[in-house]
Structure 1
Amino acid sequence: MVAAAAAAGATTSLPGAAAADTAAGVSRGHTYHVATWGADRADGTAAHPLRTIGRCSELVRPGDTCLVHRGRYRERVAPPSGTKDAPITIAAYGDGTVTVDGTKTVTGWRDAGDGLVATDVDLPLDPSENALFVDGERAMEGRWPNSGPDPLNPSWAVAERTSTDQHIDDPDLPAGDFTGATVHLWAGSNPWSQQTGTVTATAPGALDFKGGNYRCTPLCMGDQNYRNYYLVGAKSTLDQPGEWYYDKDAKRLYLVPPKGGLAGHTVTAKYQSWGVDLAGSSYVTVRGLDLWGTSLRTGDTSTGVLVEGLRARYISEFSTLPMPRDDELAIPPFEGHIVAARVLGSGVQIRGSGNTLRDSDIGYSAGTGVLLRGSGNTVTNTYIHDVGWMGSYTPGIEINGSGHTVTRNTIRRTGRASIDTAWQLNGVPFHDNRIAYNDLSEAMRTSRDGSPFYVCCNLDAKGTSVDHNTVHDADGQVGYYIDNSSGNFLLHHNVAYNTGSRGTFFNGHSSVSLGNRDHNSTYGLGVSTAVRLSGATDASGTYVSNDVALAPMEISGPGDPAPVVRSNLLPPTDPGYTDARNGELWPREGSPAIDAGETVDGVTTGVRGAGPDQGAYEYGAPIWSSGCNLPGCQSRVRNDGWKATPSDGTDASAAVDGVQTTQWKGAAAQAAGQSLTLDLGTAKTFDRLSIDAGMDATGHPYGFAVSVSDDGSHWGAPVARVGGRSFTQDAVFEQRTARYLRVELTAPGEVPWAVNEIRLYADGPDAAATLQAEQATSVRGAERGDAATGVLGSGDRIGFRGVRFGAGADRLTVRLASAGCGRGCSLQLRLDAPDGRVAATLPVPDTGSTDTWEERSVALPRTVAGTHDVYLVATGGPRVAAIDWLTLRR
C-alpha cells in the first residue's frame, strides 16, 4: 500500500488525561479502567480492570470515563449519552495502541482442490460488503483482470467496440464460468458515473450482464470512447495468492493461499460495520482509538459528540454500486442518481448537529472517507486518504446540510472528489458552510469527469465560503467545479495548479449561474483555463476579480445580465510567482500583482501597502498554508529541476517539468525494455513513485519496474514491480535515498506509453521544501495561526517530524518577525529532539515589529543528511520571534 498512508496515528492520550479533562463547571465522574488482561466481573480500578469496553459502557453514567489500555478489542462500542455539562469519555489510556477491531479470525481451512483452500463460515454482512485480510493486509476479492494490492490502481479490461449496453465482447476474456459475478463498468461516451451489473451468461470471449442504469449514451458499454470494465466475485477468477471468493448460498469461503500454504498465516474476515456506534448517543468523547476493518458513526439525533485522535483503517468495503434507496434521496428518484451509490452507507459518519471530528487519520475505504450530514458539524485537522476507489460520488469528505465547518484537512488519493456535496442526497439548501484551508490532491484516480472540489447540482450556497484551499495534482477536468446551475458560492483566496483543463468552472448548464463569485484566487501550471463560466442564461450577481493566472479566462454564453469580470492579472503578464514548478505561487518582490487589486468587502482584508494585492497571497504578510499538521500530511518530494532521459532518444522533459498538461509519449508501441531515467540533481529520499498519464486513458504502461542508482551507472534489483492497466499508477517500496531512478517497461502494449508527470513521495516533509510554521507537527509556547506562529519566547519551539534531507542541506533560511528582543536572541536548529544537538544558530534581528517579516539565513557548520526530527528553538528573551516558514537546502 501507499507508504504515505502508513503514518502513525496523530494523538494518544497520556495516562489519566481523559479523567482530568473536565472543564470548569463540568462534573467530574468515575473513572473505569479497561484492559485485555482484566475481567468484566472486576470493579474497573487500575488494579482490577474490566475486560471489555462494552462492559464499561454498561456501567458509565454522565461524567464517567472509560480509560482503555493497550490491546485489540473485537467488540462493538456503543456507550450511552452523557450530558452537555457531563459528557461520557472513552479514551486510550496512553500505554500503547488501542484497536477496536471489526474482524474475526477465520479457521477450519481444508484443501479444496485446484490450488484452493476453503472453510465453511457464516459471514454476517451483505455478501457485497465482505472483506478479508491475510496477515493484516487487505486481500483482493477474486477478479479479472488481476490487479495489484492498491485498489486505487485498478487494472481494467477493455471491451471491443462490437459490445452493446448489456453485452461485452473481449477476446482476452479467459475461459471460465463467470455467471453471477459482478461486472464493474467505467464506460460510455463521457462516463461521469461508474456502474455495476451481474453477469447472466458467459461464452468464449463474451458475456451478457444485467444492471447498470441503462443510460446510453453517455453511460453504457458499446461503441463508445471508453469501454473499461473488470469482473469480481466469481470462483473462476481465483488464480493468484490472496484472492478469495465467498459462496453465499453454501456459506463457504475459498482462498488462494500464500505460496507454501496457510501454515503460519492468519486470516480474518470483517464482521462488524460499526465498531464504535454512537448512532443513539450524544455528549460522548472518543479519544485516541484505532479502528481496524470497521468504522464509527454518530446518528441523526446525535449532538455534542467529540471524536479526536482517531486512526481508522479499512473502514468500508463493497463491490457493487446499487441505486440509493428512495428514502435516501432529497429529490425524486431518477436513474442518473446511481452516482450517489453508497455515499450514505460508508465512511466515518458524523451525523446530527454540533459534533466534531478532529486531529484524526482516516484511510482506506471503498466509499466515503468522512460523511458530514446534518447541521453545525466540524471536521478539522484530519488526514483522509486512499478512499472512494469504487468510483461513485463517494469522496474524501461528503458535506450534506448547513452550518458545517471543514478546515485544515489534507485529503489525498481519492477515486473521485476530495470534497463533494451530492444534491441527490443533500437537497437544494447548502447554507452557511465554511470550507477553508484544506489541501486536496491526487483526486479523480478512477474517474475523469469531476474535480477535487465538486458541487452538484442546483445548490443554493447562501452564506457559504470556500476559501484558502489548495487543489493540485488531480486528473479530473477542474479544480473547483460548481456544476449544473448551483449558485451563491463565494470562492476566494484559493489556489489551483495541475488540475487539468480549468481551475474553476461555474457551469450554468443551459440555465442560471446566480451569485457565484471568485476573488483573489491564484492559478498555476497545469491549468488550461483559469476560470470558465458557460451555459448560463442569467449570471446575475456572478463576479470574478483579483484573480492571478498563467492561463486565460473563458466567459461564454453568459446570457443577460452578464457576470462582472475585472481587475484580473492574466497572460501575457508574468505574475512573478516564487516557484510555480513546486506550487509556491506567492508573489516575488516586484510582482505586478502587488497593490493592483480592487477592494472587495469581506474578502480583501489584511491589506499591506497602497491597496489589496491580486491573487491568494498578500505580499508582506505571512504566507498561509493549507492542510493538516499530522504525520503523513506532508509527503511530496520537491522537484528541483529533474531531468528525464528515455531509451528512445526523444525529448522527455515534459515528464518532469511540473506541468501536468504537457505530455511525453514514447516513439513506438510499448515493449519490454523501454525505459525512462530520471536525474533528480541531488539524492532525494522517497518511497512512492506516481506516473500520471493525465486525462489519457490509453497511454498508461501495462507493466513496469522501478530501480534506483547513486551514480546513474550501477543499478541494483528493481525496488518495485507494477502490472496492470491503471490510469495513474503508483509504485510503492521501502524508503530509498538516491539521485537516479529508472522506470523500465516489463510488458508489451498496443500503444506508446505516455507520461504527463512523474511525482515522488515519502512520509514526512522534504527539507528543501518550504516548511510552513503553522504546519509544524508540534508547537510549544506560542499560538499556531493560519499563516505563522505567535511570538516564541526563550525555550519555546516548533518541530517537524521525519524531515527528509536526502543528500544533505547546509543552509537554514527562516522568515521571521521580531521587535524589542535585543542582542543575544537567536533560533537554534536542533535535530532529533528539542534538546538534541545544535545544527545551527541563527541570530534574530529586530525587524521593527512582530508583523514585519524578513528572511534570514545561516550556513550549517556541517551538512545534515538522512531523516531527522527538526526543531527550531528560541533563545535569549521572552519575545524572540514569530516564525512564518523555514527551508533547509544546499
Structure 2
Amino acid sequence: MRLRHLSVLGAVTALLTFPVQAQAAPSGHTYQVSPQGSDQAHGSRTSPLRTIGACLERVRPGDTCLIHHGTYREQLTPPSGTKNSPITIASYGDGPVTVDGTDRVTGWKDAGGALIAADTDLPPALDFNAVFLDNTRAMEGRWPNSGADPLNATWAEADATSTDQHIDDSDLPDANWTGATVHLWAGSNPWAQQTGTVTATASAALDFKGGNYRCPPLCMGNQTYRNYYLVGSKAALDQPGEWFYDKATHRLFMVPPKGGIAGHTVTAKHRLWGVDLTGSSYVTVRGLDLWGTSLRTGRSSTGVVVDGLHARYISEFSTLPMPPDSDLAVEPFEGNIVASRILDSGVQILGTGNTLKNSEIAQSAGDGVLVRGTGNTVTDNYIHDVGWMGSYTPGIEINGNGHTVTHNTVRRTGRAAIDTAWQLNGTEFHDNRIAYNDISEAMRTSRDGSPFYVCCSLNGSGTSIDHNTAHDADGQNGYYVDNYSGHFRLHHNVAWNTGSRGVYFNGHTGPSIANEDHNSSYGVGINVASSALGGATDASGSYFSNIIGPKPVTATQTGNPLPVVRSNLISATPGYTDAVNGELWLTPGSPAIDAGEKVDGVTTDILGTAPDQGAYEYGAPLWSTGCDLPGCQQRVRHGRWSATSSDGSNASAAVDGDINTRWADSTPQAAGQFLTVDLGESKTFDRFTLDAGRDTSGQPYGFALSVSRDGTHWGEPLAEVHGRSFTQDASLRHRTTARYLRITLTASGPAPWVVNDIRLYGEGPDAASTLQAEQATEVRGTDRGTAAVSLGAGDRLGMRATNIDGTHLTVRVAPHCERGCSLQLRLDRPDGRVAAEVPLNGTGDWQERSVPLKQTLTGSHDLYLVAKGNGRVADVDWLTIRSATAAPAT
C-alpha cells in the first residue's frame, strides 16, 4: 500500500493582493500621510503630512508611516530601524499608493516639421531617459518603426555586403543618422545584443563605432544574422508619440498625437530610484506601487523587507556599454559585454538577510530583480516583460551565496528567466536554493540560452535547483549550466517545449565536475536529449538518475569516477497525465512507479516499495510552481485543436503543442494567406502567441488575428502584429471568448511562413487546467502546504477571475469526515451562488470526486471552494471544471 500524507507549511490567513494595510509596531509612533495633508501638520489621522519624505524625517526605530491613496512624486530615503524595532512604510489600505519617478513636461510649442518641442532638463543619465504619453510608455524615435511591445521588436536586416563596422541596407532612409545609436543583434550565433554609435552616413549605408565584440559570433558583416535598428536621432521621428531628446539644447521633441497635444499628458523620468534604501537597514516597505522608477537596497543593508510591491517601468536605457572594470569579478575582456546593465537596472535586493515577497515587477529594459550579497530571499513574486534590450539581464539575476529564490513566476523575458553572471559574481555560487519557480516564455531576443542559465566556471557547491518548471521558451534547453561549471545539483525539475534538451551541462572543452540531475520529468518539445552532459574534458562524479523523458540521458564518459547514468525511463509514452499541458505526473500503470533508486539528499518520502522515477511521486499531492498572486496563472489549456491553411491543407503541426514540429506554407508569404484554428470548444483569452521557432526565415512579416464563435462569421481583426521575432504576440484590448481563430498575413515576404506552435493566454487561470489548491489567490482559515490545502469546517480557498466553460467539477481530495460534510463551489463571493456540491462522507486516501454543475458555466468568475461540516473536512489537492466530453490532450 502507498502511504499518503499532507505536509503543511502553516496557517495562512491573509489575502495576498494589493494594497496591503500595514500594522504599526506596538511600541512605535504612527504618522499618516495624505496628498491633502501639510508637511507642517502633526501627522495624525485628522492632520496628516503631505509628503512621505516629511514623515521619514520624523520617524525613529519602531515608528510607522501610513500612506493614504495618492501619487507621490518624490524619492524615499528612509533611515534605519533596529532588529527589534524596524521602521515601516506602508499603504494605509484605502487605495493605491504610487511613488512616481516621473515629472510632467509642459510648455509644448510647434517645432516645425510636424513636431512639437518643450524645453526641459532630464536629470538621469541620457541613456536612462524614459517618456510616457497618457501613462503609457512612449517609444523613442526608432527606425524601422516598431510596435508598443518592446519584446516584439521590428528589426532591419543589413545587406550581406556589410562589414564589422559598416552597414549596407538598400531600405535605409536617406537622412543624417550621425550620432544615432545602432542596436545590433547580429553574428553567426548572437547570444547577446550590442550597441554602437553611428559615425557617418551615406546613401543606403552607415558607419558606426562600438559593438562587434568577439567576431564572428557577435558581429555585423556577412553573417547568418544581420539584424539592427536605430534610435537616438531626430531623423527617426515619424509616428505619433515618438520622442527624441536633444542633450545639447535640452529640448524634448515629439510627434504629437493625432489632433494635437492638447488634452494629453506627457511625463518624463526624473528619479531612477523612487525608494532608495542603500543606506538603510531594518526597514519594512509594504503595499507600495512604483511607476517609472525602482527600489534598491545597499551592500550594507540588512533586515529590509519589501512586501506587496507593485512596480512598473522600473528601468529604461538605450545603450549596452561594457561593464566598468570595477564591477567585474573576473579579468576584463571583450566577452564581458554580455553582462551590460545587470548592476544598474531592476529592483535590487543587495546586502544580507533582506526579503522581496508578494510583489509584481514588470516592464524593464534590464533586470526584473537583482539579488546580490548573502542570504537574501526572493519569494512569491510575479515578474514579467523584462530584459528587452537583449543583454544577459534576466527576470531574476542571482549573484552571491546563501540566497533563497522560491515560488516565483517569471515570464516573457528577453533572455533567461533566472540567471547568474560569473563576470559579476565570481566563480563561487554556493548554498543557494532555487526552487518551486515557474519560468516560461524566455529567450524572446536571443537564441543561445535557456529559461534557467548559469555561466560560467562557477562552483555551485551546496546549491539546489529543484522543483521548478521551465516551458514554452525559444532557447535551446530548459536548464543550462554552461561552460566549465561544476557541483550543481538539479532534482525534481520539469521541462517541456524547451527545444533541444530538458537540461544541459556544457563542458565546452573544459571540466564539468560533479553535476547531477535526479528525479526530473521532461515532456514534449525536446528533441535531442532529456538530460545531457557534453563536451567535458573531465566529468568526474557526475550522476544522472530517476529521469523520465522522451530522449536519451547522456554524459561524456571522462573523469574518475566516471559519470553515472542509470535508473532512467526513456519513453514517448511514460504514463504522463497530459504531456501537452505540462501535467507530467503519473497515471496508474506507469512503468515509472516504484522503479527508481534512492539518492542521498534527494529521496525523501517513498510511497510504495521504492521511489518513483520522475518529478512527482505517484499517490502524493501534486507540488506546484510559481506565485499565488493574481496574474500568476494565465496559460489556456491546450485541447483537441485543429488547423487548416487557406489552400485547404492540414496544418495540425501548428497546433499540436510541440514547438519542435512545424507547419510551413507552400509558397512565399503574401497578404491574405491565412490559418484557421478550431479550438474544439470556446476559450477565453486576451493574448495570442505565434511561435515561429528559432529559424528566422519563416517568421511572419505581419498578421492580423480575428475570432469567430461558429467558424463562419468573422468580426474585424482584434489585433495586428508587425515585425519579426521568434515568438510574436497579439495582445487584445479586451478579453474575448471564441472557438475559432483566423491568422491572416498582412504583409509579403521572400520565404513561406512558418508556425511551430500556437498558444493562448488569459488574464486569470483557465478552469479547464488543473488548478492547484495551494496556488489559490485567497485562503482563509486554512493550512496551506507545499502541495495541498487542509480545510476545516467554514474554511475556504478562492481563485480570482477564473475563465470557465464546462459542465463538471472534479476535485482531488483526501476526506477526513465521517458524515455530513461537503465542499461547495460558490461563484463570485464566499457566500455566493452554489454552482456545485461535492459530498464527503468517510475518510480515506487521495481520490478524485466529480459532480455535474447545477448549470453550464461560461465566462469569468471568482471561484470559492467552501468546506461544510464539522472539524477537519478534507485536504484538497486540485480542482478542474471541464465539459463532460473534454478529454486530455495527447
Give the alignment's TM-score, normalised by structure 1: 0.96
Cα distance, 1:554 vs structure 2 = 3.4
Instruction: Indicate which of 828, 836, 847 corresponds to 2:832.
Output: 836
Instruction: Indicate which of 842, 865, 871 corresponds to 2:858.
Output: 865
Q: Which residue of 1 aligns with 2:876?
A: 883
Q: Which residue of 2 aligns with 1:5?
A: none
1:732 corresponds to 2:731 = yes
- Aligned amino acid, residue 17 of structure 2: A
Cα distance, 1:511 vs structure 2 = 1.1
Q: 2:359, 2:854 → 1: CA distance?
A: 38
Give unpaired runs (5+ residues) of structure 2.
1-14, 884-890
Cα distance, 1:146 vs structure 2 = 0.5
Q: 1:203-260 CA distances to partner (integer Å, 9 max, x unpaired)?
A: 1111100001442111110111111111111111111111100111111110011111
Q: Which residue of 2 aligns with 1:12?
A: 19
Q: 1:643, 1:378 → 2: CA distance?
A: 44
Q: 2:560, 2:85 → 1: CA distance?
A: 57
- Aligned amino acid, residue 605 of structure 1: T
Q: Which residue of 1 aligns with 2:641?
A: 642
Q: 1:677, 1:829 → 2: CA distance?
A: 36
Q: 1:31, 1:484 → 2: CA distance?
A: 53
Give unpaired runs (5+ residues) of structure 1.
1-7
Q: 1:217, 1:397 → 2: CA distance?
A: 29
Which sits farther off after the overlay, 467-476 or 110-119?
110-119
Q: 2:18, 2:826 → 1: CA distance?
A: 23
Q: 1:406-430 CA distances to partner (integer Å, 9 max, x unpaired)?
A: 0000000000000000000000111
Q: Which residue of 2 aligns with 1:826?
A: 822
Q: Secondary structure at the match of 1:822?
A: strand
Q: Secondary structure at the match of 1:654?
A: helix
Q: Which residue of 1 aligns with 2:746?
A: 746
Q: Which residue of 1 aligns with 2:155?
A: 156
Cα distance, 1:698 vs structure 2 = 2.3
Cα distance, 1:616 vs structure 2 = 0.1
Q: Secondary structure at the match of 1:55?
A: helix
Q: Which residue of 2 aligns with 1:4?
A: none
Alignment of 1:355-504 (within 5 A): 355-504=354-503
- Aligned amino acid, residue 682 of structure 1: E
1:853 corresponds to 2:858 = no
Q: 1:355, 1:51 → 2: CA distance?
A: 29
Q: Which residue of 1 aligns with 2:887?
A: none
Q: 1:558, 1:115 → 2: CA distance?
A: 67
Q: Which residue of 1 aligns with 2:331?
A: 332
Cα distance, 1:9 vs structure 2 = 9.0
Q: 1:193, 1:766 → 2: CA distance?
A: 35
- Aligned amino acid, residue 107 of structure 2: G
- Aligned amino acid, residue 18 of structure 1: Q
Q: 2:599, 2:841 → 1: CA distance?
A: 35
CA RMSD of aligned residues (A): 1.1
Q: Which residue of 1 aligns with 2:262?
A: 263
Q: 2:17, 2:563 → 1: CA distance?
A: 45
Is the Cα contact below 8 Å between 2:709 and 2:739 reproduced in 1?
yes
Cα distance, 1:560 vs structure 2 = 5.2
Q: 2:531, 2:763 → 1: CA distance?
A: 34
Q: 2:406, 2:806 → 1: CA distance?
A: 33
Cα distance, 1:557 vs structure 2 = 5.8
Is the Cα contact below 8 Å between 1:213 and 1:335 reproduced in 2?
no
Is the Cα contact below 8 Å between 1:815 and 1:883 reproduced in 2?
yes
Q: 2:192, 2:558 → 1: CA distance?
A: 28
Is the Cα contact below 8 Å between 1:847 and 1:854 reproduced in 2?
no
Q: 1:610, 1:554 → 2: CA distance?
A: 27
Q: 2:214, 2:505 → 1: CA distance?
A: 25
Q: 1:407, 1:583 → 2: CA distance?
A: 20
Cα distance, 1:602 vs structure 2 = 1.7
Q: Which residue of 2 aligns with 1:676?
A: 675
Q: Secondary structure at the match of 2:846?
A: strand
Is the Cα contact below 8 Å between 1:438 and 1:468 reproduced in 2?
yes
Q: 2:639, 2:64 → 1: CA distance?
A: 51
Alignment of 1:559-598 (within 5 A): 561-571=561-571, 574-598=573-597
Alignment of 1:507-522 (within 5 A): 507-522=506-521
Q: 1:394, 1:32 → 2: CA distance?
A: 38
Q: 1:18, 1:335 → 2: CA distance?
A: 51
1:814 corresponds to 2:811 = yes
Give the alignment's TM-score, normalised by structure 2: 0.96
Alignment of 1:667-706 (within 5 A): 667-706=666-705
Q: 1:11, 1:138 → 2: CA distance?
A: 23
Q: Which residue of 1 aligns with 2:778?
A: 778
Alignment of 1:710-729 (within 5 A): 710-729=709-728
Cα distance, 1:865 vs structure 2 = 1.1
Q: Secondary structure at the match of 2:598?
A: coil
Is the Cα contact below 8 Å between 2:554 and 2:565 reproduced in 1?
no
Q: Percent identity?
A: 69
Q: Which residue of 1 aligns with 2:342?
A: 343
Cα distance, 1:649 vs structure 2 = 2.7
- Aligned amino acid, residue 525 of structure 1: V
Is the Cα contact below 8 Å between 2:349 and 2:372 reproduced in 1?
yes
Q: Which residue of 2 aligns with 1:78?
A: 77
Is the Cα contact below 8 Å between 1:646 and 1:652 reproduced in 2?
yes
Q: Secondary structure at the match of 2:487?
A: coil
Q: Secondary structure at the match of 2:373?
A: strand
Cα distance, 1:559 vs structure 2 = 5.0
Cα distance, 1:13 vs structure 2 = 2.3
Is the Cα contact below 8 Å between 1:535 and 1:558 reproduced in 2?
no
Q: Secondary structure at the match of 1:708?
A: strand
Q: 2:745, 2:636 → 1: CA distance?
A: 23
Q: 1:280, 1:868 → 2: CA distance?
A: 45
Which sits farther off after the overlay, 35-44 or 600-609?
600-609
Alignment of 1:524-543 (within 5 A): 524-528=523-527, 529-543=529-543
Cα distance, 1:604 vs structure 2 = 1.4
Q: How many residues in Structure 1 have an aligned counterpart in Structure 2?
A: 867
Q: 1:710-764 CA distances to partner (integer Å, 9 max, x unpaired)?
A: 1111111111111112221101111111111111001111111111101010110
Q: 2:768, 2:625 → 1: CA distance?
A: 18
- Aligned amino acid, residue 855 of structure 2: R
Q: Which residue of 1 aligns with 2:886?
A: none
Q: Secondary structure at the match of 1:172?
A: coil
Q: Secondary structure at the match of 1:480?
A: strand
Q: 1:650-674 CA distances to partner (integer Å, 9 max, x unpaired)?
A: 3211111010111111111111000
1:173 corresponds to 2:178 = no
Q: 1:419, 1:845 → 2: CA distance?
A: 45
Q: 1:576, 1:563 → 2: CA distance?
A: 28
Q: 1:60, 1:241 → 2: CA distance?
A: 46
1:800 corresponds to 2:796 = no
Q: Secondary structure at the match of 1:844?
A: strand
Q: Which residue of 1 aligns with 2:5?
A: none
Q: 2:482, 2:695 → 1: CA distance?
A: 23
Alignment of 1:271-310 (within 5 A): 271-310=270-309
Cα distance, 1:699 vs structure 2 = 1.4
- Aligned amino acid, residue 672 of structure 1: A
Q: 1:460, 1:601 → 2: CA distance?
A: 20
Is the Cα contact below 8 Å between 2:33 and 2:52 reproduced in 1?
yes
Q: 1:763, 1:516 → 2: CA distance?
A: 39
Q: 1:864, 1:503 → 2: CA distance?
A: 38
Cα distance, 1:178 vs structure 2 = 0.8
- Aligned amino acid, residue 785 of structure 2: G
Q: 2:391, 2:598 → 1: CA distance?
A: 41
Is the Cα contact below 8 Å between 1:525 and 1:581 reproduced in 2?
yes
Q: Which residue of 1 aligns with 2:45?
A: 46
Q: 1:360, 1:260 → 2: CA distance?
A: 38
Q: 2:720, 2:98 → 1: CA distance?
A: 32
Q: Which residue of 1 aligns with 2:706?
A: 707
Q: Secondary structure at the match of 1:823?
A: strand
Q: Secondary structure at the match of 1:56?
A: helix
Cα distance, 1:648 vs structure 2 = 2.4
